[in-house]
Amino acid sequence: MRISKAYWLWGLFPSKEKIFLNEIKAKVQSRLKSPSFETHITLSGPYLDIDNFFLNKLKNFADNNSAIMLNLFGYEFKQEIFKSFYISIENSRGLKELRRNIYELNNFDLAKNYSPHISLSYGNHKLKEKKELLSNLPELNKPIRMSKIALVEVDEDINLWKILESFDLN
């Protein structure tokens, strides 16, 4: 069963990468209408509860961990609301290590099948529309930098994805 109200940790991008990704997301969403959300990669969650102790651990974590590079595989889509259209990311050793370190802060289901991606659109969209969109998008031929982690409050029932705190990685 999917948990629709919880807290999650996201990875965020510096300005240059964010501009590039947001331009792609705008093209996708001009064809595939979607709720509004910050461009991100989900790192961990769900957490049903958070407290100041966890926030302090998260800040300390960011101070002691470096930004990482993410290898982009390409555009993909599924017939799932929250994986409707996205950029697939390599589950690299660096990303796995970062997630294991986050797990040490506050346990989450680390064993769950993790499919790293950057969502470009949420919703129920026709397969034909998604396939037609592929030819209008730029190539993804270089890695991007993930430079921040953010604690996010999520309530999918009302399309809420609110960043509560974000921390620059060292």
Instruction: Say whether pLDDT at 88 is over 70.
Output: yes
Predicted local confidence at residue 111, as pLDDT: 65
Dihedral Cα 84, 89, 90, 93, nearest 10 deg = -120
Give residue-wise pLDDT tens across range 44-71: 999 999 999 999 999 999 999 999 999 9
Instruction: Say whether pLDDT at 108 is over 80.
Output: no
Name the DSSP class of 140: -
Q: What residue has token string 């659109």?
A: 121
Domains of the chain, each with CATH number or no CATH = 5-168 (3.90.1140.10)
Integer-rounded Cα radius of gyration of the chain:
16
